[in-house]
Amino acid sequence: MGEVLIRCSLGLFTSLVVGSWVTAFFLRRVRRRLDRLRGLRGDSVPAPWHGVQDVPPGLTGVIERLFFTVVVAFNVPGAVVAMIAWLAVKMATDWNRPGTPTTAAGAMSALLGGMVSMLFAVAGGLICSGIFIP
């Protein structure tokens, strides 16, 4: 019982803490590069990720990683399909927000950030289930 608790703690730590840090780092790097490119092109409109957001993206990321870590840990059928569907729904709701300009680069950075986030949910779930660390 103790080793299961240790595995689950390590899996959740990997998914929630390490996943949050790596995803935020990844998005900062990608968006900093996009900001530099926008400056070189002379774009005067700020990028959408610089505005105030109603729902903090970090909170959304933690909740989605927690949910999908548990789904992967319990080997729920269709977990990968559900992850892809979740990313599609999340992206579609972001694209259809009224009054917010969406650029292709901004949408792609959000999609890549979501994929990095889901990668850590899968890794954390596999650690919890004992596949990564027996």
Question: How does 54-85 read in b/e, with b if 16+ C-beta sit within 10 Å?
Answer: eeebeeebbebbbebbbbbbeeeeebeeebee
Tell me if the pTM is above 0.85. Answer: no
pLDDT band at 96 (very low <50, low <70, confident <90, very high): low
Q: Which two tokens stand for residue 57?
A: 């993206």
18 vs 15: CA distance, rounded Å: 6
DSSP letter (8 states) at residue 47: P
pLDDT band at 70 (very low <50, low <70, confident <90, very high): very high
* Domain boundary assignment for the chain: 2-44+55-129
Q: Which two tokens stand for residue 50?
A: 């610089």
- In the block, residue with structure tokens 């009224």: 98
Point out the least confidently predicted range of 6-10, 24-28, 83-87, 90-94. Answer: 90-94
pLDDT band at 66 (very low <50, low <70, confident <90, very high): very high
- On whether the CB atoms of residues 48 and 97 are closer than 8 A, the answer is no
pLDDT (average), residues 114-134: 91
Q: Which two tokens stand for residue 7?
A: 């595995």
Angle (deg, nearest 10), helices 104-129 and 79-95: 150
Looking at residue 50, its pLDDT comes to 62
pLDDT band at 102 (very low <50, low <70, confident <90, very high): low
Return phi, psi of residue 132, to 5°.
-75, -45
Looking at residue 97, its pLDDT comes to 61
Q: Which two tokens stand for residue 15?
A: 């998914």
Between 47 and 122, name the one with better pLDDT: 122
Looking at residue 31, its pLDDT comes to 87
